[in-house]
Structure 1
Amino acid sequence: MKSWKIGLILLGCLWTGMLPAQNSVLEFPQQVWNFGTIREADGAVSHEFEFENKGKSPVVIEKVTVTCGCTTPQYSREPVRPGGRGTIRIAYNPEGRPGAFRKDITIQSSGGGRNVISITGEVTPRPQEVGELYPVRAGALRLATRTVNLGYVPRGSIKAKTIEYYNDTERPLNMTVVYPKTKPYLDVALSATRIEPKQKGVLTVTYDLRDCDVWGVLSGAFSLMVNDELADTEFSATGIATDDFSSLTAAELERAPKAAFSSQYYHFGNQKAAGELRRDFTLTNDGKEPLVFRDMKLGQRMSTTLDPEREIAPGESVTFSVMLNTKGAPAGKLMDHIVLIVNDPSRPMREIRLAANIAE
């Protein structure tokens, strides 16, 4: 038996002995019910917990509290006489909840009584339909997604991610990648330019920064020609070009620059669309090497006094202003940002955002 299965069994045993103390005249001979392995596709399952009134007066169940909408209790509010028995049915809906579960149910009864019972088990996920696995259409072709985020892409390196696609038709499909606007670092490759009916393939999106002098936000787009027809679905690939920190030693990382901002967000509240709003921020280099700005991108309504050409020495602090231009802004929430790329290995990309509610 695999170690994780043994662990689940042991944990189940521990759960049984770890229920909160029962403070009630209602006695539940069975406080934990394990449904075992159930299938998501089979729908809800239920179990009846029996109890007995061990007290000397009738008892009414006043409230049953569950921790999740997936768990539904059914019970009677009729008084249970001394020595009488009753049941509480607990149903569990596994839809959208694959994996192991444990749900505690708290029962409050008249006279301040409190009991806790539990259900446990493990849900086997249902097989997903083609439309769920491949929700994006490009002509007759189905794909898993239309966006790819490659995250941080170190300069001088290559990074790639894939999109799986599927031919759900009864005929072969021929495919070609089309770039609306060429980006020197973006390449998209198909595992096969022809895919047979009911077959899968992989589309690989690559950012190659070995010979590209770029910093900061990377963005690219592409489309697919399917059977000589240009699909109207556009795909996007994003990333962030940063320093390559992969070769730094532990000592070098310890000495590396560390950008510490007093704040990176401010909301001006209700404002008129009348001009410029200004807010000061302070940036401190908490590292032991100079902090360098690799790139700065200003939003359309943003400006700043921060000089991106200036290095910030270890221990040095710089106070700068950031301005949000509200002139001509439509009524409602207004937000814009500045994206900074720095040589801080812990977080090479930083964002400063300003917001306001523009009155009508």
Structure 2
Amino acid sequence: MFRIEKILCILLFLCLFAQLARAQEPISPKLIWAVNKVDLGTLLEEQGIQVAEFQFTQTQDSLFYIESVVTDCGCTTVNYTRDTLQLGESGTLQVAFDPSSGAGFFSRMIVVKGNLMGVQDTLYIEGNAIPRASDPVGTYRTRKGNLGFRLAKVNVGEVFTNEPKVKQVEVFNFGNKPFYKDSLQFSAPEYIQVMQLTDSILPNDRGLLQVVYDGAKKNDLGYFEDQISVNWKDSTTFIQLDVLADVFEYYAPFAKENLNLVPQLVITPKEIDLKTISSGTIRVENVVLSNRGRQVLEIKKIQGNCECLKLELPKTSLDPGESIQLKVVFDPKGRQGIDQRNIYIFTNDPVNPVQMFLLKSRVE
């Protein structure tokens, strides 16, 4: 009897072990999508319906077909491959979006269900829809030649060095001649490219320009303001655009267990309050920078937000456990009232590649 029970226990253990092994095996997706999100960018209402296309490949031995597709908004319609697909065959799914359905940023979800068990994939389309302006003069208040802009400057925002940042800019033609895409010319640093997205910008109509900012080609970090020139060969319009950007180093994600192995910057203190000071007295303070990590810390740049600051470092490389003093010289001449200076430190600390400390005062 004891032997039978022992055999049953062993069989039960083997069954449980087999189930656990199967549960731990990686689940391969039944459909491989080329992308699961499409950014349609900036869409003008008058551009009409825009279509995003998703491509997929069937990876199972069984025959596959799409049973249903559900979207979360009536502003989208879907068309997809209705054939039955064998292993290795591909299909497409097209999502049509109506930009007149609403204004501003949008993110729409599409759920795809197939005939095979476990096939229920989620796709997304996103972008920014801009309706027509009822008052062009009041909407496009910044005039550059015959072109009107909503804002005085083009703010690209945060730019990382792993990929260029794209910014689309809406413009309105207040002139009596069109601006054609193939006649656009520009003069800019090599890290900034400009193009016209719409084929033409007709009189009393609007179009889209696109600014592409390449952080890797910029080869510098921090806040920048560049001025670029744009003109059209068949037009007398010659405009200048101010392009703003914050450039940051990109660091790929890494495993949590490696957190203590990378460089780690610690700033002491994070805030200095000078209290009430005289505008005629230069103040000198020291901030301690320490490397608490296990690899060499490289200080790539220190940037203040005012010419009234002078920042001095004895060295830019810190060994593990090493500390140095950053000398901060603040000249409050010409300043008055509550004052706050931001100092940014750019390093190869992958967790916090940019850190800031404050210098506060009240200048009399």
Task: Give the TM-score normalised by the residue count of structure 1.
Answer: 0.52
Q: Cα offset for 1:151?
A: 0.8
Q: Does 1:239 align with 2:246?
A: yes
Alpha-carbon displacement from aligned partner over 1:6-49 (angstroms, at most 9, x marks no partner): xxxxxxxxxxxxxxxxxxxxxxxxxxxxxxxxxxxxxxxxxxxx
Q: Cα offset for 1:324?
A: 0.9
- Aligned mates of 1:237, 1:338 — CA distance in 2: 19
Q: Say if 1:358 and 1:192 are closer, same or farther in 2 by CA, change over 3 A.
A: same
Which consecutive unaligned segments of at least 5 residues does structure 1 have? 5-125
- Aligned mates of 1:3, 1:254 — CA distance in 2: 43
Q: Cα offset for 1:185?
A: 1.6
**1:290 match:** 296
SS of residue paired to 2:317: coil
Q: Cα offset for 1:352?
A: 3.4
Q: Does 1:137 align with 2:143?
A: yes
Which consecutive unaligned segments of at least 5 residues does structure 2 have? 1-69, 74-130
- Aligned mates of 2:295, 2:139 — CA distance in 1: 48
Query: What is the identity, as a one-letter code, of the residue corresponding to 1:290?
Result: V
- Aligned mates of 1:3, 1:334 — CA distance in 2: 49
Aligned 8 A contact 1:292 1:312 in 2: no
SS of residue paired to 2:252: coil
Q: Cα offset for 1:197?
A: 3.4
Aligned 8 A contact 2:225 2:245 in 1: yes
**2:201 match:** 195
Aligned 8 A contact 1:223 1:235 in 2: no
**1:277 match:** 283
- Aligned mates of 1:194, 1:271 — CA distance in 2: 58
Q: Cα offset for 1:170?
A: 5.7
SS of residue paired to 2:318: coil
**1:228 match:** 236
Q: Cα offset for 1:212?
A: 5.0
- Aligned mates of 1:254, 1:195 — CA distance in 2: 55
Q: Does 1:158 align with 2:155?
A: no
Q: Say if 1:290 and 1:133 are closer, same or farther in 2 by CA, change over 3 A.
A: farther
Q: Cα offset for 1:300?
A: 2.3
Q: Cα offset for 1:205?
A: 1.5
Query: What is the aligned-residue RMSD (CA, Å)?
Result: 4.0
Q: Say if 1:333 and 1:200 are closer, same or farther in 2 by CA, change over 3 A.
A: same
Q: Say if 1:260 and 1:207 are closer, same or farther in 2 by CA, change over 3 A.
A: same
Query: What is the identity, as a one-letter code, of the residue corresponding to 2:220?
Result: V
- Aligned mates of 2:258, 2:148 — CA distance in 1: 47
Q: Say if 1:297 and 1:193 are closer, same or farther in 2 by CA, change over 3 A.
A: farther
Describe how 1:313-332 pairs up with structure 2 within 5 A: 313=320, 315-326=321-332, 328-332=333-337
Size of the aligned set, in residue pairs, is 236
Q: Say if 1:247 and 1:350 are closer, same or farther in 2 by CA, change over 3 A.
A: closer
Q: Say if 1:289 and 1:152 are closer, same or farther in 2 by CA, change over 3 A.
A: farther
Q: Cα offset for 1:152?
A: 3.5
- Aligned mates of 1:275, 1:351 — CA distance in 2: 24
Aligned 8 A contact 2:190 2:217 in 1: no
Aligned 8 A contact 1:138 1:224 in 2: no
- Aligned mates of 1:129, 1:252 — CA distance in 2: 56
- Aligned mates of 1:293, 1:199 — CA distance in 2: 49
Query: What is the identity, as a one-letter code, of the residue corresponding to 1:306?
Result: L
- Aligned mates of 2:308, 2:319 — CA distance in 1: 26
- Aligned mates of 1:335, 1:317 — CA distance in 2: 26
Aligned 8 A contact 1:177 1:222 in 2: no
- Aligned mates of 1:173, 1:127 — CA distance in 2: 19
Query: What is the identity, as a one-letter code, of the residue corresponding to 1:300?
Result: E
- Aligned mates of 1:265, 1:147 — CA distance in 2: 32
Query: What is the identity, as a one-letter code, of the residue corresponding to 1:136?
Result: T
Query: What is the identity, as a one-letter code, of the residue corresponding to 1:346?
Result: V
Describe how 1:105-116 pairs up with structure 2 within 5 A: none
Q: Which structure is higher in helix share?
A: 2
Describe how 1:36-75 pairs up with structure 2 within 5 A: none
Q: Say if 1:161 and 1:263 are closer, same or farther in 2 by CA, change over 3 A.
A: farther
Query: What is the identity, as a one-letter code, of the residue corresponding to 1:214?
Result: D
Query: What is the identity, as a one-letter code, of the residue corresponding to 2:299?
Result: F
Alpha-carbon displacement from aligned partner over 1:281-301 (angstroms, at most 9, x marks no partner): 233334443321112235422
Q: Say if 1:136 and 1:346 are closer, same or farther in 2 by CA, change over 3 A.
A: farther
Q: Cα offset for 1:253?
A: 5.5
Aligned 8 A contact 1:342 1:348 in 2: yes
Aligned 8 A contact 1:282 1:318 in 2: yes
**1:342 match:** 347
Q: Say if 1:177 and 1:239 are closer, same or farther in 2 by CA, change over 3 A.
A: farther
SS of residue paired to 1:292: strand
- Aligned mates of 1:287, 1:237 — CA distance in 2: 33
Q: Say if 1:192 and 1:127 are closer, same or farther in 2 by CA, change over 3 A.
A: closer
Query: What is the identity, as a one-letter code, of the residue corresponding to 1:149?
Result: V
SS of residue paired to 2:266: strand
Alpha-carbon displacement from aligned partner over 1:143-199 (angstroms, at most 9, x marks no partner): 3432223314216x42322212233566423574554xx423222222257422354
Q: Cα offset for 1:228?
A: 0.9
- Aligned mates of 1:249, 1:164 — CA distance in 2: 42
**2:361 match:** 356
Aligned 8 A contact 1:176 1:193 in 2: no
- Aligned mates of 1:317, 1:256 — CA distance in 2: 16
Task: Give the TM-score normalised by the residue count of structure 2.
Answer: 0.52
- Aligned mates of 1:238, 1:264 — CA distance in 2: 25
